[in-house]
A and B are shown apart, each in its own frame.
Chain A
């Protein structure tokens, strides 16, 4: 089943806020095997010039994927989640995501393509503070594997 190309251009505005906590950063850093003190110790992060503990560069995916999940769940998209594998991911950070950030995310469907029986869906999530300061742009392509 092909993904519906009509979802291209669809915008999913912020539905909720994401509050970045010390514990979540520590949990995520631990899960990726990082022991970098900048993720665990405010003083170590400040010694590097950050206001407080910062998240690993790929932490933004946690926030982005919550927002992108709205695309996958969109009944008009026709995406079978068990057939989804990840194709590409890219982060552009204007600054590191930091403890205490209160973030909102808008996601966009940039493209839907078909090749070799599979569908490729590219999304872009713009993560900003509630005050409107842009923090990170996350672009992602998922591959929805075709049926046999």
Chain B
């Protein structure tokens, strides 16, 4: 389980260049429906293929915020405390189409420690997220306060 102090990285032991993790996440239509309900974002392009394609999209697309939240789990699981994330920002560079094919979309996320701030005792984790080989998040950076 996450959140146990023994597994948490400490500021002093983390070095610039450290790999945080690399993981694959699957997003299916059900995940989009659940996210729509939980977030209140009911934009039809996230659940209605007819409307999505009629406005020129390749398919129903994942909420950018679901992709961002999913990539963020890489950081919060690593930090062992979701409250350690003091800043988190991304650009949505490509859409994540989620076909209704029983498989869904696969988003591959990795993160590295890019900088350390000795005064604030924070590190900046730079994230890479791809789907079918294209980058879905740009300038994805999380600032994490470590014990």
Contact = CB atoms under 8 A, between A and B. Distances in A.
Interface of A: 24, 27-28, 30-39, 44-45, 47-50, 54-58, 61-62, 65-66, 81-93, 95-96, 139, 145, 148
Interface of B: 1-3, 5, 25, 31, 34-35, 37-41, 43-45, 51, 55-56, 61, 63-66, 68-70, 72-73, 76-77, 80-83, 85-92, 95, 142
B56 A38 contact: no
B72 A57 contact: yes
Contacts of B3: 36-38, 44, 47-48
Contacts of A65: 39-41
A36 B82 contact: yes
A65 B36 CA distance: 12
A33 B70 contact: yes
B18 to A, nearest CB: 20
A93 B66 contact: no
Nearest to B67: A86
Given A37-B3, A56-B69, A92-B87, A82 B51 contact: yes
Given A44-B3, A58-B65, A90 B31 contact: no
B91 A30 contact: no
Nearest to B25: A33
Contacts, number: 128
Given A38-B82, A92-B87, A86 B76 contact: no
A62 B40 CA distance: 7
- In this complex, which of A47, A49, A61 has the most chain B Cβ atoms within 10 angstroms of its Cβ? A61
A145 B56 contact: yes
Contacts of B38: 24, 27-28, 30-32, 62
Nearest to A92: B87
B68 A89 contact: yes
A91 B90 CA distance: 9
A82 B45 contact: yes
Contacts of B34: 30-31
Given A27-B37, A48-B81, A62-B39, 10 more contacts: A28-B39, A31-B38, A36-B82, A38-B3, A58-B69, A86-B65, A86-B92, A89-B92, A93-B87, A148-B56
A91 B88 contact: yes
Given A50-B83, A90-B88, A91-B87, A61 B65 contact: yes
Contact of B90 (A30, A35, A50, A88): A88
Given A37-B2, A47-B3, A88-B91, A54 B83 contact: yes
A34 B76 contact: yes
Nearest to A39: B82
Contacts of B88: 57-58, 90-91
A44 B82 CA distance: 12
